[in-house]
Chains A and B, each alone.
Chain A
């Protein structure tokens, strides 16, 4: 099976000379279609840096990153927006919705970026919000939605471009158990039924059983990879929240 994300020997160093800080040491990682990859590790370990590199919003210092077989390290920066637009959907811990726009308009923005007409974008945004169970909240602004509802709008927005890769940063951190469960079920369904690769940075032990694989990052190094039951034991060992 062709990997959707292929990271080879990637490093990231911020600054130069004496002030240089290595955020990511040589790292290899492959994510296949249908996988829900959990990335955990302490704060400042390099999780977000790796997620940003995989998301083509941060350049690696060295190494190779391929998204759907396309090398993105070293290509022109002006080409990266198209790569993100075509392949990646982002979900953020803080939702990052546009507060001035309704739920429907938030999703429409992503669709118009893809070049859809206003009317087509509206129709498709309505469908996506229905998929995440928010058909009755389309005209609400983010401030009028619960945390779980906001995150589901964010998911609908991330899915707007029908991306093969979903990158999520602590998607359940700000949610209660029920909302977090609903969000994770949505993401794992996407991976399982539609062959998407879902990479989730998390500290939340409640989401463990949704992951098909877990990697652990410490001091900028991908140290361990755990599968199935090992994940629970490892996260307990790290003292992550339950």
Chain B
């Protein structure tokens, strides 16, 4: 690294602060917008992604995981007979009415799963356990929604679809994209809360034997049970995410926000780096008069941009982490996964280098009047 490249950014503290502010602002904007987008995708399909399911069997034409229709439970036995299937569990996921203590109602999504198998069950349990759901009329809710649901925590009782329900556990961070929180319970309770008939289910969740080709198993299941749809877990995730992303205003807005955040961030960084580089134009002119080759000047400019990018990124990452952390207790998740943090670093480097390259032409085209001007 050249001495000039290393010392230039630190010499003018105000200029450095302005440059870093621009870069940090741009990167935090990208973190927030992309974090919201990733949070949106995660929230829409979290019950699918974390279900541990290999294949989903649904009634024909089910568009996404939150739009299930009931179908006969006895398809389960046909599925179990297909070679490669290890186990098949019933699963209920349906909207239902939660009666608040004050008498009004809130919509919830009752999630009834097989307590023995556990597929489609809750995660991040911070109070109680899945075993506690073996009791009659027991449920687990997420602590994010306690206030919304008008309860204080474990031990409280309310009514779902006019049936008693007692909170025996709490989860943390299981958000619902819709305004209806997930309420976890046993499949049997789920049938009751969603008014599902005894011999019906909303989904059949298939766990394949180890090493089984899922696409082949999917085809075999379709052949064996032609009156159900079969999806791999990834397909169900994609269907659900696509549905909420492209058919709702919120999805499109979040997507556009992420794209615009990226564009605005790029423009702000480009403007900041360009301005910081052009501030030193006279010095580059002097260097060129002294006999420096363009490559030497390119090197200084790019090194300066890399220093600014690295410092700006580090600060933005800390700020972004705090933003993401604070969103954990809010209704909208802002995710900052490691992959995004790494990608953002390379994005920051790329943005700064590209912006500095734009200023290079200006810096290396010597105007003698400028160099000699007093």
> Which residues of B have CB within 8 Å of A88?
291
Give complex CA distance A170, B372 in Å.
9
The reply to whether the CB of A144 lies closer than 8 angstroms to some CB of chain B is no
For window 142-174 of A, CB contacts with B under 8 Å fall at 157, 161, 169-170, 173-174
Question: Which residue in B3, B7, B290, B369 is a CB contact (below 8 Å) of A110?
Answer: B290
> Which residues of A have CB within 8 Å of B366?
57
> Which residues of A have CB within 8 Å of B11?
99-100
Give 1 or 0 for each of B335-374: 1 = CB within 8 Å of chain A CB: 0000000000000000000000000000000101101111
Least Cβ–Cβ distance between A78 and chain B, in angstroms: 8
Question: Which residue in B3, B12, B282, B371 is a CB contact (below 8 Å) of A109?
Answer: B3
Least Cβ–Cβ distance between B279 and chain A, in angstroms: 11
* Residue pair A84, B291 in contact (C-beta under 8 Å): yes
* Residue pair A113, B290 in contact (C-beta under 8 Å): yes
The reply to whether the CB of B293 lies closer than 8 angstroms to some CB of chain A is yes
Interface residues on B, range: 20 to 34
For window 262-301 of B, CB contacts with A under 8 Å fall at 282-283, 286-294, 296
Give complex CA distance A98, B11 in Å.
10
> Which residues of A have CB within 8 Å of B4?
98, 100-101, 109
The reply to whether the CB of A48 lies closer than 8 angstroms to some CB of chain B is yes
Give complex CA distance A231, B369 in Å.
26
* Residue pair A105, B292 in contact (C-beta under 8 Å): no
The reply to whether the CB of B10 lies closer than 8 angstroms to some CB of chain A is yes
The reply to whether the CB of B8 lies closer than 8 angstroms to some CB of chain A is yes
Given A92-B286, A100-B10, A105-B3, does the pair A58, B293 have CB atoms closer than 8 Å?
no
> Which residues of A have CB within 8 Å of B371?
57, 90, 92, 96
Give complex CA distance A169, B283 in Å.
16
> Which residues of A have CB within 8 Å of B283?
96, 98
* Residue pair A94, B289 in contact (C-beta under 8 Å): no
Question: Which residue in B282, B288, B291 is a CB contact (below 8 Å) of A86?
Answer: B291
For window 5-39 of B, CB contacts with A under 8 Å fall at 7-8, 10-12
> Which residues of B have CB within 8 Å of A232?
none
* Residue pair B374, A174 in contact (C-beta under 8 Å): yes
- Of chain B, the residue at the smallest CB distance from A51 is B372
Give complex CA distance A181, B289 in Å.
25
Least Cβ–Cβ distance between A94 and chain B, in angstroms: 5
* Residue pair B7, A94 in contact (C-beta under 8 Å): no
Least Cβ–Cβ distance between B63 and chain A, in angstroms: 61
Give 1 or 0 for each of B242-263: 1 = CB within 8 Å of chain A CB: 0000000000000000000000
> Which residues of B have CB within 8 Å of A57?
288-289, 366, 368, 371
The reply to whether the CB of A15 lies closer than 8 angstroms to some CB of chain B is no
> Which residues of A have CB within 8 Å of B10?
100
Give complex CA distance A174, B7 in Å.
26
* Residue pair A113, B8 in contact (C-beta under 8 Å): no
Q: List 11 A-B contacts (CB under 8 A).
A: A81-B288, A81-B294, A82-B291, A84-B290, A84-B291, A85-B292, A96-B371, A98-B283, A100-B12, A109-B287, A113-B292
Q: Which residues of B contact A (CB under 8 A)?
A: 3-4, 7-8, 10-12, 282-283, 286-294, 296, 366, 368-369, 371-374
Q: Which residues of A contact B (CB under 8 A)?
A: 48-49, 51-52, 55, 57-58, 78, 81-86, 88, 90, 92-94, 96, 98-101, 105, 108-110, 113, 157, 161, 169-170, 173-174
